[in-house]
Copies of this chain bind each other. A is one copy, B any other.
Amino acid sequence: MSITVVGSIAYDAVKTPFGERERMLGGAATYFSLAASLFDTVRPVGPVGGDFADTELEVLRTRGTPTDDVQIIPAGKTFFWAGEYGWDLNSRETLDTQLGVFSEFEPQLSEAARDCDVLFLANIQPTLQLSVLDQCHGPRWTALDSMNYWIDSARDDLINVIERVDSLVLNDSEIRQLTGKASLAAAAREILAMGPSSVIAKLGEYGAVLVSRDGFFALPAYPLERVVDPTGAGDTFAGGVAGFIASQPEAKIDHGLLSTAVAYGTAVASYDVEEFGTDRVARLTFDEVQARVADLHRMTQFTHRSVQETFA
Contacts and interface: CB of A to CB of B under 8 A. Distances in A.
Interface in A85-106: 87-89
A50 interface: no
Interface string A293-312: 11001111111110111111
Interface string A242-255: 00100111010000
B247 A182 contact: no
Interface string A193-214: 0000000000101110101000
A217 interface: yes
A217 B293 contact: no
A142 interface: no
Interface string A1-45: 000000000000000010000000000000000000111110000
Interface string A35-64: 001111100000000000000000000011
Nearest to A296: B302
Interface string A278-298: 000000011100100110011
Contact of A182 (B88, B302, B307): B88
Contacts of A301: 217, 259
A131 interface: no
Given A203-B206, A312-B38, A184 B223 contact: yes
A177 to B, nearest CB: 11
The interface size bin for chain A is: 35 or more
A185 interface: yes
Interface in A69-125: 87-89
A306 to B, nearest CB: 9
A226 B293 CA distance: 32
A260 B182 contact: no
A92 to B, nearest CB: 14
A225 interface: yes
A207 to B, nearest CB: 7
Contacts of A303: 256, 259-260
Q: Which 7 A-B pairs have the closest CB atoms?
A: A286-B312, A218-B220, A206-B206, A88-B182, A259-B302, A185-B223, A247-B307
6 contacts: A39-B312, A40-B311, A89-B182, A211-B223, A286-B312, A300-B300
Given A39-B307, A206-B206, 19 more contacts: A17-B182, A40-B311, A185-B224, A186-B225, A186-B226, A207-B218, A209-B220, A211-B223, A215-B298, A216-B223, A216-B299, A217-B302, A218-B220, A218-B223, A218-B299, A247-B307, A264-B307, A285-B312, A297-B302
